[in-house]
Amino acid sequence: MNIAPIRIAPSILSADFSQLGEEVRAIEAAGADLVHFDVMDNHYVPNLTIGPLVCEAIRPHVSIPIDVHLMVEPVDALVPMFAKAGANIISFHPEASRHVDRTLGLIRDHGCRAGLVLNPATPLGVLDHTLDKLDLVLLMSVNPGFGGQKFIDSTLDKLQQVRARIDSHLRDGGEPIWLEVDGGVNAGNIADIARAGADTFVAGSAVFGAPDAGGGYRTIMQRLRDEATKFAR
């Protein structure tokens, strides 16, 4: 059996913003595969976070990809700005774009990988005509807007359904698509999430809120990876 890569993407929403450069350097040194960058606009979601200038500021501090999750409406105006700021992956919610296909094309035209984000109650039908344009599908396992929420268990069934769609897409000759999960991921549930089909895991408070046992973030990052690998496909 081929073991798919396990990717851990700490969300800097839970980092210490007073020393963000140091924080992203620390997670890369601890083994992070991506930096997850949550953008909230106090419009599409009830919170206000960070924008392209912060992305540009942290870009020189890490060599790993920056995974930008846009929780904003509208989307298109921000895509070129984040691409210029150093984003490698840009994902957005289909509800926030009037023309999903056009937005996906815009992301790729600016040299970034493109992803769609599905909220807990968003049906999967939006994937029917977009998989050939996607590099990533991100399932929200909490309602977007705040960190530190509890994982919604019904996400596991939804993950299995998306994994089946991606596998069918691959059998038909399509390009690989990452399956990412965001919300309430921790060392206690990441194995079940991996078993349901995820290969990329956003973890905020589980990483940045972990007690420092002398090794910085390395201990918790390795534990997350080890647990996820138990049931990796």
In tens, the pLDDT along 51-97 reads 999 999 999 999 999 999 999 999 999 999 999 999 999 999 999 99
Q: Which residues are CB-neighbours of 129 under 8 A, at least 6 positions away?
A: 101
**Known catalytic residue at 132:** no
The domain made up of 7-229 is a member of CATH 1.10.260.40: no
Is residue 195 within 8 A of residue 231, CB to CB? The reply is yes
pTM, full prediction: 0.95
Identify the DSSP state of 40. Answer: E
Higher-confidence position of 225 and 211: 225
Residue-range domain boundaries for the chain: 7-229
Tokens of 82: 């984040």
Dist. CA 6–CA 55, nearest whole Å: 24
Beta bridge pairs of residue 66: 35
Beta strands 113-118 and 89-92, pairing class:
parallel
Which of the residues 33, 67, 135, 182 is marked catalytic?
182
In tens, the pLDDT along 10-64 reads 999 999 999 999 999 999 999 999 999 999 999 999 899 999 999 999 999 999 9
In tens, the pLDDT along 118-169 reads 999 999 999 999 999 999 999 999 998 777 789 999 999 999 999 999 999 9
pLDDT band of 111, cuts 50, 70, 90: very high
Which of the residues 38, 67, 135, 192 is marked catalytic?
38
**Known catalytic residue at 109:** no
By the 10 Å C-beta count (0-12 exposed, 13-18 middle, 19+ buried), 143 is classed as middle
